[in-house]
Amino acid sequence: MRRVSIFGATGSIGQNTIDLIARAPDDYDVVALTGAGNIAQLAQDAIRLGADVAVTADETRLQDLRDALAGSGVAAAAGTDALIEAASRPADWVMSAIVGAAGLEPGLTALEQGATLALANKESLVCAGELILRTARKHDARLLPVDSEHSAVFQALVGEDMSAVERVIITASGGAFRDWPLENLAGATLEQASAHPNWDMGQRITIDSASMFNKALELIETREYFGVDPAKIEVLVHPESLIHAMVGFHDGALMAHVGPPDMRHAIGYALSWPDRSHLPVERLDLAQIGALTFRAPDDARWPALRLAREVMARRGLAGAVFNAAKETALDGFIAGTLRFPQMAEVVEEVLNTLDPGLIDAAMTLDNVRHADQMARHSAQHIIEQL
Ligand code: NAD
Ligand code: MG
């Protein structure tokens, strides 16, 4: 029996993870499940899977969670400290699927216990890649990618020598506004930005797909996870979302990973790694699909990609600043105070105006937290001035 915990269990990735685990209940001993506002879902899954503890990040919901778990034998807890306590419980495999920088500390704590961390929370690597990797090395813990592109690259690299890698190509669907006239973007509504053409995901990452902030985070994630020079990482728009990534080698070969847009593949690969297991995902009928198409990303439509390149060149804590500014700008768009193209403008202004000393500070958890807070304040201030 493998002891597993799922952080962000009530979200899109969390629910897909539970779907896989619930298919083989005898293989897993569920330690902790965490969520935030969706108490009913959290309690239902914790009871069904026989978790030791269920944690809500929202302290005000502790009594609701206790009530929902009454008589089940599943312990209830709430708040940030409870999340960290849950992450410190011994587990063999931990899914990090909280959305945003809030996923960083639970992930670090799980790595400190030596757990294998299946990392969907790409923000951790963007904010604190060096710290995450250092912590994993120190505690002999393994980090496995759970982003479709990064799982694809990881799989294309099995048995390969990194010195033979010439390029890494991550694909992007182009999101909801891929084919919109540029002048219409300023009028894009929350509902329109929240509709992804191919993937069914949480709302925040869906909007980030439309703005390409998701791909911007993934460029940085690729650099951090695989240690590749940013100049070797390319973004390719591929509207069908069937090729998730390609790795180009110095003999000219390109190894592509092809599969349906279903996160259970990347989650399942991380769950059974280094083996492959039978997964309940669609098998592609390529003759039926007929054609796969590609195009270069358009810098005017997706300024987030340029900003990610600047962040990678800047290094230091620029990723933490970038992510925090992006999260704040996204909150602004969701709340209706920012227009869609203004998200990138706010992030760029934060990067350009924040005290450079914050970015140049050493990568410790305290400094990452501080840079994150300052970037959020700065973004909020910029939004208020608009
Ligand atoms: P989601 O919004 O569907 O779920 C987020 C989860 O995090 C929920 O369980 C929620 O309760 C919890 N949560 C939210 N705020 C929290 C906080 N402040 N503290 C603690 N918990 C909190 O998101 P998702 O789409 O499942 O994405 C989760 C992560 O996986 C993100 O980092 C995202 O970028 C990444 N990811 C998602 C997909 C996908 O297909 N959904 C693909 C690749 C990567
Ligand atoms: Mg992805």
CATH number at residue 140: 3.40.50.720
| Residues 116/142, Cβ–Cβ less than 8 Å | yes
Establish whether residue 202 lines the binding site of ligand 1, counting it when its CB lies within 6 angstroms of any ligand atom.
yes
Residue 75 has phi, psi (to 5 degrees) of: -75, 150
What's the rounded Cα separation, in Å, for the pair 233 and 344?
21
- 198-237 burial, b at 16+ Cβ within 10 Å, e below that, comes to bbebbbbbbbbbbbbbbbbbbbbbbbbbbebeeeebbbbb
In a domain, 11, yes or no: yes
In a domain, 116, yes or no: yes
What's the rounded Cα separation, in Å, for the pair 285 and 258?
11
Structurally, the chain folds into a number of domains equal to 2
Distance 105 CA to ligand 1 centre (A): 14
Nearest protein CA to atom 27 of ligand 1, as residue = 99
- Nearest 5°: the CA angle 315, 321, 324 is 145
Distance 182 CA to ligand 2 centre (A): 24
In a domain, 346, yes or no: yes
What's the rounded Cα separation, in Å, for the pair 13 and 328?
22
For residue 15, give Cα distances in angstroms to 19, 20, 46, 152, 273.
6, 9, 12, 21, 20
pLDDT digits (tens, 9 = 90+) for 237-246: 999 999 999 9
Sheet containing 243-249: which strands, arranged edge to edge? 233-237, 165-172, 243-249, 254-258
Mutation pick for ligand 1 pocket among 5, 10, 13, 81 (CB with most ligand atoms within 8 Å): 13
Q: pLDDT-derived band of residue 149, with 50, 70 and 90 as boundaries? A: very high
Establish whether residue 341 lines the binding site of ligand 1, counting it when its CB lies within 6 angstroms of any ligand atom.
no
In a domain, 298, yes or no: no
pLDDT of 64 reads 98
Establish whether residue 316 lines the binding site of ligand 1, counting it when its CB lies within 6 angstroms of any ligand atom.
no
In a domain, 184, yes or no: no
Pick from 86, 111, 145: which residue ends a domain? 145
In a domain, 72, yes or no: yes
Nearest protein CA to atom 9 of ligand 1, as residue = 8
* Integer-rounded Cα radius of gyration of the chain: 20
pLDDT of 35 reads 98
Distance 217 CA to ligand 2 centre (A): 9
> Is this structure's pTM higher than 0.95?
yes
Local structure of residue 278 (DSSP, 8 states): -
- Find the CATH number of the domain harbouring 363: 1.10.1740.10
Q: Which ligand is nearest to the CA of 205?
A: 1
Element (H, E) at 41: helix 39-49
Give the domain extent around 333. Answer: 316-386
pLDDT digits (tens, 9 = 90+) for 191-237: 999 999 999 999 999 999 999 999 999 999 999 999 999 999 999 99
pLDDT of 234 reads 98
In a domain, 157, yes or no: no
Q: Which ligand is nearest to the CA of 199?
A: 1
Pick from 145, 172, 200: which residue ends a domain? 145
pLDDT digits (tens, 9 = 90+) for 285-303: 999 999 999 999 999 999 9
Pick from 98, 124, 145: which residue ends a domain? 145
In a domain, 138, yes or no: yes
Distance 71 CA to ligand 2 centre (A): 39
